[in-house]
Amino acid sequence: MKKRLWCFLVLYLSVLLSSPMTHARTLNLYTFHSPPYQVNPASVQDHTGPFGTTVETVRCVAGRMDWETQIRTVPQNRAIHGLRNHVIDGYFAVDESDLLNRFALPTAPVALEKWYFYSLEPIDNFRDSRIAAIAGSNEAIWLEQSRYATAMTVSHPDQLLALLHRDRVDAVLMDERVMALQRLSGQDPDDLNKQFVRFAPLSLYVTVPFAMEHPEFLNKFNRHIAGCMTGGFDLSQQEMSQISNRARSLIDELVNTYHLEDWLGSLGPPAELGEVLALDKQWRELSPSRASDKAAEILSLKLSGKLAQWQYEQDGMVTETIVMDTIGAAAAISVLTSDYWQGDERKFETIAGKTSDTLYLGPVRFDPSAQEFQVFASMPVVDPATDRFVGGVAIGLNIEKALRSPYLRPGSTNGSPGE
């Protein structure tokens, strides 16, 4: 009996040891050469593959999901062909594309670029201008899809600047960080005029068969991006200054137009916090599908209707408007908000009890449903007769629209429109 048991154990161990070991799954991905985001290794003998900020983000996310990565840089047409024919699992870092959406699914953004038109002289209308971009780049594809009259494409950024200085084109379209690298080749971007065009969220596209085989992949991948991305969604000091000025101007207009200090001052004492929290719970449970009784009551206010009209007149720049009482409860709203009580959020905590010139500007957030970058700004409302804090105003700003203001000259702190 013991001999049979021993033979069975030997047979079991031999089968176990002869079976292939379990390895991490491998993601087979294509990308393209675009420093500093994706950079080819200096030597073909370098087997570590491409590097750069976006490459490291993708590798980090994949690693946290127990996936290994095999990444190669290839021309755009080859990458699209590989994705369409399922030769690869995915392709990054690419802008949203109607073509790719036909046979692949995007993740949340793994990189964020800031695009500008660069020119020697100020240009009021770029639609009729000669514009150049890097061949096969996201910028070149976007120009074509947006029906700009692209003059030509070249293979390297320094060739774009050469075209500009030789008056072969009127402007070039380039990411801000890519342009900053031109200083290394003796160019000085600070000598150029620039106009902000857009934030470009760049994603990883995976094939439909891959997504079907791994149904949890996209959700898990998206959850890990924030912890792996290093920078990219932060505003520069110049952009912060411009957004702050725009937000302050809009809120001042709102307060003065509707005399919010008088309206808030007439509300009387705020509700008890316990009551506010109970109403907030009901509000959050139903939003955004429908309004709670309290939300419907506030939306029906005359002031809420005026806020909605004012917001509409801002042509998409303002995405949300909230008037708050002295403890941060919503007193009037332009649209149904996600919650009733703002008192535990930075946009209220930072301004509560402060003077009227205090401004809070929150972090940039990407709204995947609207495909927009937004930021919340808020200011206190103070009774000018008594200097008493009577509440606050918060607005959501579409960052791209807010940055499109009069032309940005060298050394200027103003932003600019895309056209």
**Mind listing the pLDDT tens digit for each residue in 315-357?**
999 999 999 999 999 999 999 999 999 999 999 999 999 988 9
- Among 143-147, 181-185, 193-197, 215-219, top mean pLDDT goes to 215-219
pLDDT digits (tens, 9 = 90+) for 244-259: 999 999 999 999 999 9
CATH topology of domain 114-200: D-Maltodextrin-Binding Protein; domain 2 (3.40.190)
Count of residues for the chain? Answer: 419
The domain ranges of the chain are 22-111+203-228, 114-200, 237-403
Same fold: 22-111+203-228 with 114-200 = yes
Question: Quick one: 405 exposed, middle or buried, by C-beta within 10 A (0-12, 13-18, 19+)?
Answer: middle
End-to-end CA distance of the chain: 88
CB 168 within 8 A of CB 150: no
* Cα dist from 374 to 199, 254, 284, 362, 364, whole Å: 11, 19, 21, 9, 6
According to the model, what pLDDT value does residue 414 have?
A: 39
Distance CA 314, CA 322 (A): 15
CATH class label, 237-403: alpha beta
What average pLDDT does the chain have?
Answer: 86
- Threshold 0.85, pTM exceeds: no
- pLDDT in the model for residue 186: 59
Residue 121 has pLDDT above 50, yes or no: yes
For range 105-122, the mean pLDDT: 92
Query: Is residue 66 within 8 Å of residue 108, measured between CB atoms?
Result: no
Which of 146-160, 180-194, 383-397 comes out lowest in average pLDDT? 180-194
Lowest mean pLDDT among 49-53, 130-134, 138-142, 364-368: 364-368
Q: What's the pLDDT at 5?
A: 44
Check the CA dihedral 45-48-52-55 and report its sign. positive
DSSP H helical ranges for 166-215: 176-180, 208-213
Q: At 22, is the pLDDT very low, low, confident or very high (cuts 50, 70, 90)?
A: very low
- Check residue 418 and give its pLDDT: 39
Report pLDDT for 233.
63
Per 3-state DSSP, the chain is made up of helix, strand and coil in percentages (nearest 5) of 40, 25, 35
The domain 22-111+203-228 belongs to what CATH superfamily? Periplasmic binding protein-like II (3.40.190.10)
Average pLDDT over residues 222-247: 83
Query: pLDDT at position 146, please?
Result: 86
Backbone dihedral angles phi then psi of residue 371, each to the nearest 5 degrees:
55, 45
